Each structure stands twice: as structure tokens, then as C-alpha cells.
A and B are shown apart, each in its own frame.
Chain A
Amino acid sequence: METAFRLNGAEVTAEADDDTPLLYILRNDMGLNSPKYGCGLAQCGSCRVIVDGDVAPSCSITLASVAGKTIETLEGIGTPGRLHPLQEAFLAEQAAQCGYCTAGMIMAAKALLDRNRDPSDNEIREALERNLCRCGTYHRIIRAVRRAAREMAR
């Protein structure tokens, strides 16, 4: 089956079974690296992307379910030369250790900041509740989101 959706600003189509997890489409067919497999069961957050403005675990939503929708991944929000404020903030706060959870963290944070420009610490923690970081860099991540919110408010 062919499914069309919008990915990081471009119209794309994917040719695969309807129930293929979006994560595999993004990684294997679209050649994107940032959404990561961590559990495949919506338990860890490393695959989180933004679908029509809401953060979603791409491992656990199907290709068919995103037909016609708009998907954002880390690759779409900034480039090494032109970073998104969240990427700047994660860099400034050294919020990536091994870096494997980083994309999911940033996308969850972006979905939050897109609808709430001035979140409290608790709102940040809640938004990132489903994102695991085994390197234990949670503090720096919270600080980074706070910093990005400040920067974006300017």
C-alpha cells in the first residue's frame, strides 16, 4: 500500500503494509536516524516524533494512521548549522551523554513548548514522563528545556 504524508515539510509517500510501525518507515525507508528504537512498545520515548502537533511514539503507531498527516522529526527542526533553540539549549546544558534518548526528549519538549511557551518544572517533567534516559541526565534535560523556553520567549 502507498501512504502519503508530510515529513519535515516535504510531501512523501511510503510503500509498505498499512500496519508497519511508523518508526521503521522513518528509519528504513526515509533514511532518518533521529527516531530511535528503544523498546518498540511505547515504553521508553526514544522514538517519539510529532504528528499533527502532538508527540507520539512512532514505534507504536502504524503507517496507515499517519496518512495525510504532518510529521516532524529532529531532522526537521534544525540543522547543525542552524539549530532550533531546543537543540541549542541541549547543547549548552550538555544534556546529551550517550545521546540515544536525545531526539525523543527534544521532540517531546518541542511539542510542549509549541503549545505552552512558559511551562513550569512540573509541566516539563510531565511532558517528559515517558522518556527514559539510562545515562541519568534528567537534570540537564530539564534545565535545557527551561533554557529553551526562556530563549524562545525573547
Chain B
Amino acid sequence: MSENPTNATYVGRPLDRVDGRLKVTGGATYAHEHVEIPNTVHGYILGAAIAKGRIARIDTAEAENAPGVLHVMTHRNAPAQPDFGPPVTPTVPEVFTRARPMLSDDRVRFYDEPVALIVAETFEAARAAASLIQIRYETEPGRYDMEAHLAEAYAPPRTNAGFETDSAIGDFEGAFAAAEVKLDVSYTTPYQHHNPMEPHATTAVWSGDNLTIYTGAQTIANFRAGIANTLQLPLERVRIVSPFIGGGFGAKLIVHADTVLAALAARVVGRPVKIALTRQQMFANAGHRAKMKHDVRLGADRSGRLVATSHDVFSATSGFEEFCEQTAVFVRALYASETRRTRHRLIGLDTNRGEWMRSPGEAPGMLAFECAIDEMAEQLGLDPIEFRIRNEPTRDPERDVPFSTRNLVACMQEGAMRFGWEKRSSQPRAMRDGRFLVGYGMAAAMRPNYIGTTRARVRLSGNGQLTVQADMTDIGTGTYTILTQIAADATGLPPSAITVELGDSNFPRTAGSGGSWGAASSGSAVHNACLVLRDRIVAEARRADPSLKAEDAIFANGEIRWAGRGEPLGQLVGRLAPSGIEAEGQVERGDDYRNFSQHSYGAHFVEAGVDMDTGEIRIRRMLSTIGAGRILNQKTARSQVIGGMVWGIGAALMEESVLDPRYGHFVNHDLAEYHVPVNADVPSLDVVFLEEHDDKANVLGSKGIGELGVCGTGAAVANAIYNATGVRVREFPITLDKLLAGLA
């Protein structure tokens, strides 16, 4: 591959989003908006009115005869699909691709599980007909209350992403019992829902035996395999198209009811079928983060050195499909500690499965753990930053490998300086501004850096235009823009000569968007594809003129230059290879991934005010300092981190889905009752990126950024509230009713 250096002109610069114009004019086509497909009919999903039991009788006659109705699908007439299979898939990746049959039998496994699909000429007709279906259920007693079943918690075979369920270093119990200073606390984190602004929607179109799915998918390959396995089709007969996604946050990693049912129904009625979940339906049918109880125990000597650390997580899960969030896994690498133990336990309930929600593991785990660290620092009489610095490890403590880059201490120190941390009073309730008690809080952030097997294709045509193709997606993260920048630097072409095409399974397979691996994986693959392309261009040129030396070729300013003589790339391709030159590149996990502990780090700082009479909480300002390798685009990276910080505010102060312990449904299943941060909740937020280049992470030197902003942020908010009020709330979210008692 090409040895010559690439440019560093565009990567790192705050290039404007290349898809911005489409988005501000309504031209971006989201899942529901592929209106060019003629004859499309609409499906409406009817959900179960019970959470556990069976359908004893279902009468669809009236609905079938309603105006505009073409078909009513229930378990009695749904096309055959494979069985769902065991709660845990044999291998980790299969959880993304397994068959997810719908309407396949008379069992009801969770509240609002689809029990019928009505297909009609219009959405209104389908929805109206749904109300005509009569169902008699045989209800069975179900388990919905996690706390009531804590005693039945069990150890799963592994956590999400394939981590060990438990870990142990040394004799934790002994060290904890003997520790000079101890903390033993329990925190709870609630059910949460992703609630991307765009609900799930799919249009399925059959042409002969080939199926095309227009939907919102973070990971095209998962959707393709999920549909192929559910409908028992060869992969190559399924095409997934998802050019724009109205937010995913983990809710669009696997197929859900809309996609499966649209595909089944379109085949039955012989016309394209469009199905959109309503916002309410998303609460049961589009994944959630499970409720958890966290038992954190810390032991230290008087100098503030941790001698015992343990984090036990008890999480709700579904009885039919296990999802064990890797909630305590970060504890294995965050701080040094003489002994350590982490354990994950599950409580099976009659709900739908939990799913990956922005920063799985760290989001709920650091919320609890980084508050506990703050509590411990206070007990030790140490500044929370100083306490963390005293326990900064030099190597990954459990894996015993070096860190690639780890700038946690620098993040904390730089952040402290910029935030004015020295003005904080270590005594709670010591700062005041009018009626508001004011407090400062901080927390660390950490998130593993992943890379996933990814390919990309580039093609330079005779007119000098470069097309980049990959089945990667842009969920608002800025992928179109970042890949444009990377291709521009690798080829020397200007961004205006580059078109990035994403979100189509006809393009080379990538790891998609999720786990913050998107930019690094697809960026590296595009970079590598461009290097192969350069080699091909050089080879073409040398075929025409053997006197040219490969090592002299320079790609810059849209030209290829040899010893001072330049030619526009398009002209050269037009002259020597008029049909264009194509190349592919790829990336996969290498040895550096195994031999180094790779994480992004950060430190969050929060100033919070609490009204001393009403308990009203106002976030006054927030700052995050981030060490995440090379920043590919300052603007999109900033937006990603700030978006994460907003999620941190939500997790700390408002987000909670309430599962009815009697009937098993999410009671607050809309956006009026499930509170997400709004404009007024978001104060002045700032992000500072440390200069960093992680050469172990990938060829770009970058690390994941999309989820780091969430990790620990909520804990920083909670710690600020504690510093303001002296009231420690250990049950998230921190609502004013929980504060009031302590304020009096």
C-alpha cells in the first residue's frame, strides 16, 4: 500500500455538515419518507392488552370487512417463521441477527406485543379497523416488580458485548472488612427509553423474490440478516435502504415489529406496505434500558488509596430474551484498587427485552459508581479530583496490559482550571445565590474504544469526482461529513469533488453506527480504500510512462504530482482509465486492540442551583474536558459530546419509565409523561478537547466520541446537587420530591 503521506488539510477542521442543506429544507428522506414508491398501503399494529398469557379467541371478521382494509394478519394466518429460540444466543453477534418472528403463536410475552396487523389503503382506515378486532385473553400471573424478586437473581452466562459476568482480583471481602475507611451504598437507576425523535418506521417492497426495506437502521448488516433469518430468505435477496436516520441512540440496531411485519405483509398483499410505530408503541416495542440496583462497596486506607472496590449490579431483564448490560465492566479498568470484585445478576420479568441504549454499561454504571466515589472522597476528607488521582492506575488493572492513551488526570486538571473548581467549598450547603443553594460537582468519564470489521469502496471517475460507498449510516453523528474529510485528505481532492453514499446494503459491509465505533471503523476503511486507489492510479500512470517513480507521487490539491509536474486527477483518470478507477479498503481489530487497553476519557464539571424552599433544580453551567484521540471534526464532535451531556442531565434529573408492577406496562408511555431535557433545562455547556493522537486505536488516531458525553455526566450533576444541598439522593432520577425532605 501507498507509503506516501496523506494530507492533513480537512480532518480535524470544523467542516460544515455536507448533508445540512437537505436537512434544513426538508429534503432528507427518513424512514417514512420514501414516497416515490407507488401503490403503498399502510399497516397498523394492534398490541396486546395484557402482559402475560395467551389469546383464547380473536375475531377479525368485522375488521376485515371495514372500508379500505386489505388484510388482517394474526397468529392464525401469519406466514411461517422460525421459532424465536433460546433467551441467550449461542454467540454474541447472533443477538443482532437472530430471527425475530412476529404473530407466530397465541402467546403474549409482554404488554403491547403485536397481536394483529391491519393493512389498509390508508393509515386512518387501518387504525380504525384495529378497534373492531375482538380478543379474549387468558391472562396469567406475571412478574413485573424487580425489587420483589431480587432474591431470585441469577448469574447470566456473559454480559452484553461478551464480557465476563463476574470478575475478581484478590480477596475483596477480606480487604473490605479490614479497610480503615469504608463505604457501602446502594443506588438505583430506572427504566429509560431512547425516544429518538423519529419513531421506527418501515416500508417493505417486494419485486419477485427480492425484498427492499426502507427504514431507519443504525446497522444495515444487522437488519439485513435479521430480516433474512426471520423470513428465511437468502441474504442477497434482501436490500436495506436507510440514508437518513432521525436519531437512534441504540434503538435502531436490530429489527423491530415495524420491519418484520411490513416485510411479511407486503408479500401477502402483493403491494408495498408502510408501517410506523406510534410513540406510545415504542415504549414496549423498540427497546429500553432496564432498571438496576447497584451495590457499591469501597474500602480505602487513610491516605485515600483504594484497597477494596466492588460493584454488584442487579438488573431487570426479559424472561424470553436476556439482556445483561455490562454495567460494572468499566469498574474493572477505571481506578487502581488492591482488591476488586464486579458481578452482574439478572431478574427475569415478563417484559420485552432490554436493548443497547447510548453508552450501555457506563451510562447507568457510572451514574452510581461515580457518585459513590464522591461519597468516599468526602469521607476521606479529600477533594474528589485528588482522590481519583491517588488511585490512577499505570496499567489496565484487570487485564494487565498498558493503556493506549489515557489522559483522565489531564482531563480532570485542565477541566478544574477552566471551570474554577478551586472556588468549590468542600462543605456542602456553603455556597448560595439568592434563594438558590449552589454546588459544584464533577465526575470522570470513560468509554471503551471499539473497532468493528468494516469495508468501504471508493471510485474515481474520469470527471474527477470521487464516490465513497459503504453500508455505514449517519444517525445525526456527522458520518457523511467526516468520511468526506477523510477521503479528501487521503486523495488530495477537495470536499466538493467527493460524494459519500451510505445506508444501503448494496454497498460494502461495515460495522454500522453503534458503540461509538462508527467514525473510527468506517473512517479507517475509507482511508485505506483511498490508499489502495492511489496505488492503482500510480500503477496506471506508470503503465503509460514507466519512467515515473511510485515513491515520488504526491496527491494534493486535486492533482497527482511527480517531481514538480502536476496533473488533475480527473484528467489523468479520463486519459488512462476513462471508465474510472475503483478500490476497496478495510479494517478489523488488530493486535493493538488486544495488547492495549483502549478507552476514551473525560471529566465533567457541573454547577447546580437548588431552590432552598421548593427544591427546584437548575443546572447553571457544565464543562466537559475530553481526551478521545484525534478529533476528526470539531463541530460534529462537539455536538456529539454536548448531546451526550444533555442526556446526562436527563438521566440525573428526569428520565424514568415507570413499569406498572401489577399489569406490566410502562405507565408514562408518551413524551408528556416521559421527560427528556428541553431547551429550558439546558444551561451553558462547554466542551474542551485535549490534544491527543492514539496511534494504537487506528490509522486516524481517533477514538469513539458519541457516547462519552453521557458517561459520568449524570453523576457530576448529582454530586453538584449534593454539594449544594448536603442531600444525597441515591435513587435516580433526582426529582425535587426526593430532595425536599432533606432540605427542610
> What are the residues of chain A within 8 A of B453 when measuring CB–CB?
none
> What are the residues of chain A within 8 A of B24 when measuring CB–CB?
74, 83, 87, 90-91, 96, 99, 102, 106
A58 an interface residue at 8 Å Cβ cutoff? no
With contact pairs A40-B278, A96-B23 given, residues A28 and B642 touching in the complex (Cβ less than 8 Å): no
With contact pairs A28-B122, A98-B197 given, residues A128 and B679 touching in the complex (Cβ less than 8 Å): yes
Beta-carbon contacts under 8 Å, B20-39 to A = 20-30, 32-33, 35
> Are B196 and A100 neighbours in the complex by a CB distance under 8 Å?
yes
With contact pairs A38-B199, A96-B24, A99-B476 given, residues A137 and B639 touching in the complex (Cβ less than 8 Å): yes
With contact pairs A33-B33, A83-B25, A91-B20 given, residues A132 and B244 touching in the complex (Cβ less than 8 Å): no
Bound complex: CA of A87 vs CA of B28, how far in Å? 14
Neighbour of B672 across the interface among A43, A79, A92, CB < 8 A: A43
Q: Lowest 3 A-B CB distances belong to which pairs?
A: A98-B476, A34-B26, A136-B646
Bound complex: CA of A33 vs CA of B17, how far in Å? 20
> What are the residues of chain B within 8 A of A99 when measuring CB–CB?
19, 22-24, 28, 244, 246, 476
Of residues B22, B35, B122, B197, which shows the largest number of chain A Cβ atoms within 10 Å of its Cβ? B197
Which residue of chain B lies nearest to A74 when distances are taken between CB atoms in the complex? B26
Beta-carbon contacts under 8 Å, B255-297 to A = 276, 278-279
Which residue of chain A lies nearest to B23 when distances are taken between CB atoms in the complex? A99
Q: Mark B622-650, 1 if CB is under 8 A from A, else 0.
A: 00000000000001100100111111000
> What are the residues of chain A within 8 A of B30 when measuring CB–CB?
33, 36, 100
* A2 shortest CB reach to chain B, Å: 16
In terms of DSSP, what is the predominant structure of the interface of chain A? loop
Of residues A38, A101, A135, which shows the largest number of chain B Cβ atoms within 10 Å of its Cβ? A135
A94 an interface residue at 8 Å Cβ cutoff? yes
Beta-carbon contacts under 8 Å, A64-101 to B = 73-75, 78-80, 83, 87, 90-92, 94, 96-101
Bound complex: CA of A138 vs CA of B33, how far in Å? 25
A13 an interface residue at 8 Å Cβ cutoff? no
Neighbour of A136 across the interface among B276, B477, B682, CB < 8 A: B682
Bound complex: CA of A83 vs CA of B647, how far in Å? 31
> What are the residues of chain A within 8 A of B478 when measuring CB–CB?
97
With contact pairs A40-B278, A100-B246, A129-B680 given, residues A136 and B645 touching in the complex (Cβ less than 8 Å): yes
B44 an interface residue at 8 Å Cβ cutoff? no
A152 an interface residue at 8 Å Cβ cutoff? no
> Are B677 and A136 neighbours in the complex by a CB distance under 8 Å?
yes
> What are the residues of chain B within 8 A of A132 when measuring CB–CB?
197, 671, 676, 678
> Are B679 and A125 neighbours in the complex by a CB distance under 8 Å?
yes
Neighbour of A44 across the interface among B27, B28, B124, B671, CB < 8 A: B671
B443 an interface residue at 8 Å Cβ cutoff? no
Neighbour of B247 across the interface among A32, A33, A94, A134, CB < 8 A: A134
In terms of DSSP, what is the predominant structure of the interface of chain B? loop
B16 an interface residue at 8 Å Cβ cutoff? yes
Beta-carbon contacts under 8 Å, A27-53 to B = 27-28, 31-34, 36-41, 43-44, 46
A-B contact pairs, 30 of them (CB 8 A): A16-B124, A28-B123, A34-B25, A36-B197, A36-B198, A38-B279, A40-B279, A41-B670, A80-B25, A80-B27, A83-B21, A87-B25, A94-B17, A94-B639, A96-B17, A98-B476, A100-B196, A100-B476, A102-B24, A103-B26, A129-B680, A132-B671, A134-B195, A134-B196, A134-B247, A137-B639, A138-B677, A138-B679, A139-B642, A140-B639
* B542 shortest CB reach to chain A, Å: 42
B431 an interface residue at 8 Å Cβ cutoff? no
B63 an interface residue at 8 Å Cβ cutoff? no
> Are B199 and A134 neighbours in the complex by a CB distance under 8 Å?
no
A142 an interface residue at 8 Å Cβ cutoff? yes
> What are the residues of chain A within 8 A of B671 when measuring CB–CB?
38-39, 41, 43-44, 132
> What are the residues of chain A within 8 A of B645 when measuring CB–CB?
136
Beta-carbon contacts under 8 Å, A1-40 to B = 16-17, 20, 24, 27-28, 31-34, 36-40
B249 an interface residue at 8 Å Cβ cutoff? yes
> What are the residues of chain A within 8 A of B244 when measuring CB–CB?
98-99
Which residue of chain B lies nearest to A102 when distances are taken between CB atoms in the complex? B23
* B211 shortest CB reach to chain A, Å: 23
Bound complex: CA of A72 vs CA of B635, how far in Å? 31
> What are the residues of chain B within 8 A of A44 when measuring CB–CB?
197, 279, 671
Of residues B23, B124, B199, which shows the largest number of chain A Cβ atoms within 10 Å of its Cβ? B23
A133 an interface residue at 8 Å Cβ cutoff? yes
Which residue of chain A lies nearest to B647 when distances are taken between CB atoms in the complex? A136
> What are the residues of chain A within 8 A of B680 when measuring CB–CB?
125, 129
B95 an interface residue at 8 Å Cβ cutoff? no
> What are the residues of chain B within 8 A of A139 when measuring CB–CB?
642, 682, 685
Neighbour of B246 across the interface among A17, A36, A40, A128, CB < 8 A: A36
> Are B639 and A33 neighbours in the complex by a CB distance under 8 Å?
no
* B191 shortest CB reach to chain A, Å: 17
B245 an interface residue at 8 Å Cβ cutoff? yes
Bound complex: CA of A135 vs CA of B685, how far in Å? 14
> Are A80 and B246 neighbours in the complex by a CB distance under 8 Å?
no
> Are A135 and B35 neighbours in the complex by a CB distance under 8 Å?
no
Bound complex: CA of A46 vs CA of B131, how far in Å? 27
Of residues B25, B279, B680, which shows the largest number of chain A Cβ atoms within 10 Å of its Cβ? B25
> Are B123 and A24 neighbours in the complex by a CB distance under 8 Å?
yes
B475 an interface residue at 8 Å Cβ cutoff? yes
> What are the residues of chain A within 8 A of B247 when measuring CB–CB?
97-98, 100, 134-135
> Are B198 and A100 neighbours in the complex by a CB distance under 8 Å?
yes
Which residue of chain A lies nearest to B244 when distances are taken between CB atoms in the complex? A99
Q: Mark B89-131, 1 if CB is under 8 A from A, else 0.
A: 0000000000000000000000000000000001110000000
* A146 shortest CB reach to chain B, Å: 13
Which residue of chain A lies nearest to B30 when distances are taken between CB atoms in the complex? A100
Q: Mark B687-698, 1 if CB is under 8 A from A, else 0.
A: 000000000000
* B479 shortest CB reach to chain A, Å: 11
Of residues A38, A41, A136, which shows the largest number of chain B Cβ atoms within 10 Å of its Cβ? A136
